[in-house]
Structure 1
Amino acid sequence: MVAEQEPKQLLHLVFGGELANLDKVEFADLKAVDIVGIYPDYATALTAWRGKAQQTVDNAAMRYFIVHIHRLLDPERG
C-alpha cells in the first residue's frame, strides 16, 4: 500500500494597490493596499492575480504582485 503524498505547499502572496509613481513600486496609500490572499501554489496565485488585474485594468496606476513567500521562508530550497 502506497501512501498518497500531499503536494508540497509553495506559498504565494497576492497583493496590490495604487502606485504613487509608475516608475517605482511605492504605494500611494499603504492603508489602501489590497491583500488578496495567500495561495498554496503559483498557479492558484496567478489565477487570483489575473482576476484582480483584470478588475482594475482601467486604472493605469493600479498594480498587483505575486510574492513567493516560500522563497523567503526557505531561501536555500528556492
Structure 2
Amino acid sequence: MPETSEKKQLLHLVFGGELASLEGVQFKDLENLDVVGIFPDYATALTAWRAKAQQTVDNAQMRYFIVHMHKLLDPDTKGA
C-alpha cells in the first residue's frame, strides 16, 4: 500500500459565551453559547479564537475557549 503524507487531524473546538462572573467559568446562558467551529489543527483554531476574542473585547464577561478534542477522542496519544 502506498504511504500517504496526509497530516494527522488534531481536532480543536472553539466556543465561547458570556460568563456568570469573572471569578469562574460558568456560563450565564448555555442556550446562547457561540460555537465558532471545529478546526483541523491548533494554529487554525487559534486564529479563529483570536478573531472572536477581538470582536468581543468590550464585554469583560465574554470568553472564548479552545478545546483540544483530539485529546478527548484519543487520550492515550502522546505529544502533539
TM over 0.5: yes
3-12 vs 66-75, greater mean Cα deviation: 3-12
The alignment of Structure 1 onto Structure 2 pairs a total of residues equal to: 77
Q: Any stretches of 5+ residues in structure 1 without a counterpart? A: none
Normalised TM-score (structure 2)? 0.92
Q: Please list every run of at least 4 consecutive aligned residues from structure 1 whose deviation after the TM superposition is greater than 6 angstroms.
A: none
2:28 counterpart residue number: 28
User: Residues 1-78 of structure 1 correspond to what in structure 2 (within 5 A)?
Assistant: 3-78=3-78
> Which whole-Å deviations, capped at 9, do the CAs of 1:19-72 have from their partners, x for residues lacking one?
001111000000110000000000000000000000000000000000000000
Task: State the identity as a percent.
Answer: 71
Gaps of 5+ in 2: none
TM-score by length of structure 1 reads 0.94
Letter aligned with residue 26 of structure 1: Q
The CA RMSD measured in Å over matched residues stands at 1.2
